[in-house]
Structure 1
Amino acid sequence: MKLLKKAVCAAVAATLAAGTAMADGHATTKLRIQTHYAPETVSGKLAQGYIDNVQDMSNGEIAIEMFWSSSVVKSVEGFDAAASGILDCEMHGGGYQTGKNPAFQFVGDIMGGYDTPYQQLSWLYYGGGLEAAAPLYNKYGMELIGWWIYGQESFASSKPIEKVADFKDWKFRSPPGMETKIFEKLGASPIVMDFTEIFTALETGIIDGADASGLANNVGLGLYDIVNYANFPGFHSMPSDHLTCNKEVFDAMPAHHQKIMKVGMESLALRTALTFEKANAEAAASLREKGVVLSQWAPEELAKFRAAAQATWPEFATTPEAKALVESHMAYLTQLGLVSE
């Protein structure tokens, strides 16, 4: 009898973790989610579309309270906030967690890997990516629900950047981590600085260029009002945002709620890639009309960058989770013909 009582209590606790029961017997799931995006941004509007889809597909059984612009905790703290129960889920990116485990580099911004969001998403869903990433997220009490990727980033530069040789002595704003190592090997001088300092640093000539974001976002930042060179399509960096949830909370959700959350992310991933493909193409046409020079890199130059990037991967593959992810990426990139065996 005592064992039965304990089992009943455990089941009740699990149900309460995911939500409550509606009067008609259907379970309801209530989730508190944070994102670093503001609701008025393109990505914010896409995230709101995900919320609407999930709530509609569940017939109101899933209710999401979104905290925009990292209003509960800092973006870098969102993952831990969900793991500890302050939040239920978070929509930031794995790149924020590289200090916790370098393996997060290979789910946050792979660098020198895939050419398009579609290739990267195909690794996640059909190339063993989810299976390779799950142990990393589960280790920290989290469940990876899915990715949304806005595409390759483009540089802003005061001089042409048409080939690897153009990186020599090129001072540019870089985020910290693996990117600085890669570009140092290619002869560039990466300078780590906050995102908010880019405009002034370009304007005053402290830097020659910047790795900021995708072409359309760079236009929005006003970077091409200062400098007249860019590369498009981009090739060096394609960060992925993710949705992760506290594993105990997610495991306690009804199976159909779990599926709705994950299928909804597949829809968000497609809509994000398509939305930014259109926005970047429109930005490129507008910039060309204004006289900004856009360089499309030749395949042999892209291969040089990819080789330098992938030669740097082992330096960050220092944990079992990171090694497993690198092996998975390399196997799939080889299958796609993006690296040689």
Structure 2
Amino acid sequence: MRLTTTTALAGLLALGLGAAAGAQTTTLRIQNHQAPESTSGRMIADFVENVQRMSDGEIQIEMFYSSAVVASAETFDAAADGILDCDMTNGSYQTGKNPAFQFVADTMGGYDTPLQYQAWVNVGGGKELINELYSEYGMTFIGAHVGGQESLNSTKPIAGPEDLKDWKFRSPPGMESEIFAELGASPIVMDFTEIFTALETGIIDGADASSLAVNVGLGIYDIAKHTTYPGFHSMSSDQLACRTDVWESLPDAHKAIIESAEKVLAFDLMMATLVENGEALSALPEKGVTIYDWSAEDRAAFRTAAQTTWEEWAERTPETRKFVESHKAFIERIGLGD
């Protein structure tokens, strides 16, 4: 099912902002790590189309899917170095630069919904804080998009924390590996694009890949017949970040179009994930997939482990401390605090 937001705003931007930009044209080379047929991949294709329509063709985007140019974790540097113009992968790939990057993309055990995270980004000071960090690397953060909580998938039962002992799974780099290792699992950091082959060959027992719907799109449940839902462990947000000199060279109208299209992408992805997760939930049992809804006690055990790790990470750099304190304050502000 394909969901697209078409609003009067898009038409107004196309007529007003596009005309205001004059004859200047913009061409951007952007890489994402999503498969084009996945939920996120289809929403990204809509983003490209929306930008082109709203700019009346003045902005052209060459979008590379599935990390076609460089490995996912290398996208940020490829944009900063001029191989690409923008990065549409995930900030947590850059935790080797500074642990603060973890808290750009995924607090783990923090927010319950994507809308809460988006509120932190857009009205809670998150965007400004992220750009303080990104400016050191010649990059500018434009916006974020995340559909919802991710679902673990596995070739063996994963009914609760006791099943994590010696469970080999694909983990993204960063804080998640430490949290799951503390709970007895054996995380293996590998590129997003390697998950399917690693499951197929038995290198891993399972994976933290994405939402239920995206996992279906990737074909993961053809192999892994166990999954968690609703998700609880991770809600990792992808980003749009561009090399600062490229971004600053754009006309203000072009910037506004891209920023608006990114927000539409974020909203569409939330809606699509909500609907498609529900559809997947209904269909998976027929495919022989067992679905595990962890108990409140098991979820609390994970959240406690995650937030304990927050504080350990906060001690690593002053920037990380700023992010942790920002998230804690905003979680309290919106009534999620204990």
Which runs of 5 or more structure 1 residues have no equivalent in the other structure? Answer: 1-21
Instruction: State the AA in 1 paired with 2:26.
Output: K
Which runs of 5 or more structure 2 residues have no equivalent in the other structure? Answer: 1-17
Match of 2:93 among 79, 92, 96: 96
Instruction: State the AA in 1 paired with 2:185.
Output: A
Find the counterpart in structure 2 of residue 70 from structure 1. Answer: 67
State the shift of 1:202 in Å. 5.0
Find the counterpart in structure 1 of residue 272 from structure 2. Answer: 275
Matched, 1:321 2:316: no
Query: Are the aligned partners of 1:28 and 1:63 in contact in 2 as well (CA < 8 Å)?
Result: no
Matched, 1:28 2:24: yes
Equivalent position SS for 1:66: strand
Give the paired residue count. 319
User: What are the residue-to-residue correspondences of 1:141-156 with 2, within 5 Å?
Assistant: 141-156=138-153
Match of 1:87 among 84, 87, 93: 84
State the shift of 1:139 in Å. 1.5
State the shift of 1:46 in Å. 1.5
Find the counterpart in structure 1 of residue 181 from structure 2. Answer: 184
**CA deviation vs aligned residue, 1:237-266 (integer Å, no higher than 9, x gap):** 121111111212222322222222111111
From the superposition, tell whether residues 334 and 303 of structure 1 become closer, same or farther in structure 2 (CA, over 3 Å): farther
Instruction: State the AA in 2 paired with 1:328.
Output: S
From the superposition, tell whether residues 272 and 200 of structure 1 become closer, same or farther in structure 2 (CA, over 3 Å): closer
Query: Are the aligned partners of 1:32 and 1:67 in contact in 2 as well (CA < 8 Å)?
Result: no
Q: Name the CA distance, whole Å, in 1 between partners of 2:333 and 2:58.
A: 41
Match of 1:114 among 111, 125, 139: 111
Q: Name the CA distance, whole Å, in 1 between partners of 2:245 and 2:151.
A: 39
Q: Name the CA distance, whole Å, in 2 between partners of 1:199 and 1:164.
A: 24
Q: Name the CA distance, whole Å, in 2 between partners of 1:316 and 1:185.
A: 14
State the shift of 1:38 in Å. 4.5
Match of 1:52 among 24, 49, 53: 49
Match of 1:237 among 230, 234, 239: 234
Matched, 1:126 2:127: no
State the shift of 1:285 in Å. 0.6
Find the counterpart in structure 2 of residue 331 from structure 1. Answer: 329
Q: CA RMSD in A?
A: 2.8
Q: TM-score, normalised by structure 2?
A: 0.83
From the superposition, tell whether residues 31 and 110 of structure 1 become closer, same or farther in structure 2 (CA, over 3 Å): farther
State the shift of 1:27 in Å. 4.6
Equivalent position SS for 1:213: coil
Q: Name the CA distance, whole Å, in 2 between partners of 1:197 and 1:249.
A: 31
User: What are the residue-to-residue correspondences of 1:8-19 with 2, within 5 Å?
Assistant: none
**CA deviation vs aligned residue, 1:138-183 (integer Å, no higher than 9, x gap):** 1211111101113221112344434334434434333333112101
Find the counterpart in structure 2 of residue 310 from structure 1. Answer: 307
Instruction: State the AA in 1 paired with 2:326.
Output: S
Instruction: State the AA in 1 paired with 2:123.
Output: Y
Identity of aligned residues (%): 56
Q: TM-score, normalised by structure 1?
A: 0.82
Equivalent position SS for 2:61: strand
Find the counterpart in structure 2 of residue 3 from structure 1. Answer: none
Query: Are the aligned partners of 2:92 and 2:173 in contact in 1 as well (CA < 8 Å)?
Result: no
Q: Name the CA distance, whole Å, in 1 between partners of 2:225 and 2:143.
A: 36
Matched, 1:294 2:291: yes
From the superposition, tell whether residues 205 and 263 of structure 1 become closer, same or farther in structure 2 (CA, over 3 Å): closer
From the superposition, tell whether residues 71 and 172 of structure 1 become closer, same or farther in structure 2 (CA, over 3 Å): closer
State the shift of 1:203 in Å. 5.9
**CA deviation vs aligned residue, 1:290-326 (integer Å, no higher than 9, x gap):** 4432122333332221111111123333222222111
Q: Name the CA distance, whole Å, in 2 between partners of 1:262 and 1:81.
A: 21
Equivalent position SS for 1:28: coil
Of residues 238-247 and 34-43 in structure 1, the stretch that sits farther from structure 2 once superposed is 34-43
From the superposition, tell whether residues 72 and 295 of structure 1 become closer, same or farther in structure 2 (CA, over 3 Å): closer
Larger radius of gyration: 1
Equivalent position SS for 1:32: strand
Match of 1:284 among 261, 281, 284: 281
Instruction: State the AA in 1 paired with 2:28.
Output: R
Instruction: State the AA in 1 paired with 2:226.
Output: Y
Q: Name the CA distance, whole Å, in 1 between partners of 2:36 and 2:199.
A: 28
Instruction: State the AA in 2 paired with 1:182.
Output: I
From the superposition, tell whether residues 153 and 107 of structure 1 become closer, same or farther in structure 2 (CA, over 3 Å): same
From the superposition, tell whether residues 195 and 327 of structure 1 become closer, same or farther in structure 2 (CA, over 3 Å): same
Q: Name the CA distance, whole Å, in 2 between partners of 1:85 and 1:237.
A: 31
State the shift of 1:79 in Å. 1.7
From the superposition, tell whether residues 71 and 174 of structure 1 become closer, same or farther in structure 2 (CA, over 3 Å): closer
Instruction: State the AA in 1 paired with 2:116.
Output: Q
